[in-house]
């Protein structure tokens, strides 16, 4: 009887512990089936230079993860790139210091670039860097600009064109650090824009269709009717795009067109579904219809 009681106590204790298992126990460091992509820090190659597979393998900086499907992540986990990772997702308010990316292969937003010492981080050397946060699954709010479909930017009124156009060091640092962060040497997930490697989609929303030196840029991914403000700084709270048509109909049509093109570009370049880009373009087009006023028009 005493022996049975002892084992009975062990059984009850085991049931107790199993029912109170922490949320972290749901994540795993074992290889997992790829669900369109792998979790941040995981890779679909077994070894550097090898072929891509349908399985995700943990890299050096990987964290326990699991795929939630259509469910919410468990307590103690947050969603990143469709996967659940341990920890709490934070809204990041940027300073001149560094902020952590959702995926080490993601490009940084306007005014920021990837650190060569840590491919998971974006940093800014601007005297007055804009405020950024990870966008997550929700749309950016009022006064914010979407960049790459990954970030929401605000308070960019003191950002200069040259401080904003940091795509070269960003792109190169991601490639250089990708072996450490993902286990494979690879390029960023977002390719260069037609206007040049140094720019991000939000750059043209802030400054219009000019390069980092203020020279007009013809054609490209956004309507050529957009031009920059006379200042080297962004106009805080609105996109300083304009059209050569001073009529209300002309400004509305050009603004909506530019917004739709930019929204589609950001949705496509960030690997999102096409409908996400279309929805974003519609939103930007609506803002343009209300706020864009051509330079030189009364």
Tens-digit pLDDT profile for residues 25-66: 478 899 999 988 888 888 888 887 788 899 999 988 788 999
What is residue 92's three-state secondary structure? coil
* Distance from C-alpha of 110 to C-alpha of 147, rounded to nearest angstrom: 7
Under 8 Å CB-to-CB from 187, ≥6 apart: which residues?
105, 171, 174, 175, 178
pLDDT for 212 equals: 94
d(CA 1, CA 9): 12
- Cα(66)–Cα(26) distance, rounded to whole angstroms? 7
Q: Where are the alpha helices (DSSP H) in the chain?
A: 2-19, 161-164, 167-182, 201-207, 248-269, 274-291
Cα–Cα distance, 13 to 17 (Å, whole number): 6
Percent of the chain with pLDDT over 70: 61
Q: Check residue 173 and give its pLDDT.
A: 95
More confident position, 103 or 289: 103
Note the pLDDT of residue 60. Answer: 81
Closest CA to 228 of 264, 277, 195: 195
- Residue-wise pLDDT for 217-264, tens only, equals 987 554 332 333 335 666 443 443 333 344 444 443 434 444 444 444
How many other CB atoms sit within 10 Å of the CB of residue 74?
16
Query: Which residue pairs from 86-95 have beta carbons closer than 8 angstroms and sit at least 24 positions apart in sequence?
Result: 86/23, 86/24, 86/27, 87/63, 89/134, 89/136, 91/133, 91/134, 92/132, 92/133, 92/134, 93/131, 93/132, 93/133, 94/124, 94/129, 94/130, 94/131, 94/132, 94/133, 95/129
The C-alpha atoms of residue 48 and residue 46 are separated, in whole angstroms, by 7
* Closest among 296, 179, 169, 160 to 227, alpha carbons compared: 296
Structure tokens that stand for 289 in this block: 């219809």
If one compares 263 and 71, the residue with the highest pLDDT of the two is: 71
Strand order in the sheet with 145-147: 131-134, 151-154, 145-147
Supply 271's token pair: 């690997």
- Percent helix, strand and coil across the chain, each to the nearest 5: 30, 15, 55
Cβ(149)–Cβ(272) below 8 Å: yes
* pLDDT given for residue 289 in this prediction: 36
Flag the least confident range among 1-10, 64-73, 191-200: 1-10
Q: Which two tokens stand for residue 102?
A: 């959702």
* pLDDT, tens digit (0-9, with 9 covering 90-100), for 120-157: 999 998 888 888 988 887 888 888 999 999 999 989 99
**Which range among 50-54, 122-126, 206-210, 273-277 shows the weakest confidence by mean pLDDT?**
273-277
Quickly list DSSP for 122-169: EE---SSPPEEEE-TTSPP-TT-EEETTTEEEE--TT-BHHHH--HHH
- Return mean pLDDT, the chain: 71
Contact 124, 145 (CB under 8 A): no
CB atoms within 10 A of CB 58: 20
């Amino acid at each position: 009887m005493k022996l049975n009681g002892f084992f009975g106590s062990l059984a009850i204790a085991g049931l107790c512990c199993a029912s109170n298992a922490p949320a972290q126990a749901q994540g795993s460091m074992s290889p997992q089936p790829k669900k369109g992509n792998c979790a941040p820090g995981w890779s679909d190659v077994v070894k550097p230079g090898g072929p891509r597979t349908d399985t995700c393998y943990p890299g050096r900086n990987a964290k326990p993860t699991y795929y939630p499907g259509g469910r919410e992540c468990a307590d103690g986990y947050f969603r990143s790139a469709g996967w659940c990772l341990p920890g709490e997702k934070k809204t990041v308010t940027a300073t001149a210091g560094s902020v952590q990316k959702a995926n080490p292969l993601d490009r940084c937003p306007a005014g920021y670039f990837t650190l060569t010492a840590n491919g998971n981080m974006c940093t800014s050397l601007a005297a007055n860097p804009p405020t950024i946060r990870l966008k997550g699954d929700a749309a950016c709010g009022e006064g914010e600009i979407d960049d790459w479909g990954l970030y929401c930017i605000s308070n960019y009124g003191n950002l200069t064109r040259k401080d904003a156009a940091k795509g070269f060091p960003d792109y190169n640092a991601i490639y250089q650090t990708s072996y450490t962060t993902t286990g494979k040497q690879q390029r960023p997930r977002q390719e260069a824009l037609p206007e040049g490697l140094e720019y991000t989609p939000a750059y043209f929303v802030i400054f219009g269709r000019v390069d980092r030196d203020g020279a007009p840029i013809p054609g490209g991914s956004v309507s050529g009717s957009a031009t920059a403000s006379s200042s080297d700084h962004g106009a805080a709270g609105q996109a300083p795009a304009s059209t050569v048509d001073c009529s209300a109909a002309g400004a509305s049509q050009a603004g909506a067109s530019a917004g739709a093109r930019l929204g589609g570009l950001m949705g496509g370049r960030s690997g999102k579904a096409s409908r996400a880009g279309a929805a974003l373009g519609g939103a930007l087009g609506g803002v343009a219809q209300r706020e864009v006023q051509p330079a030189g028009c009364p």
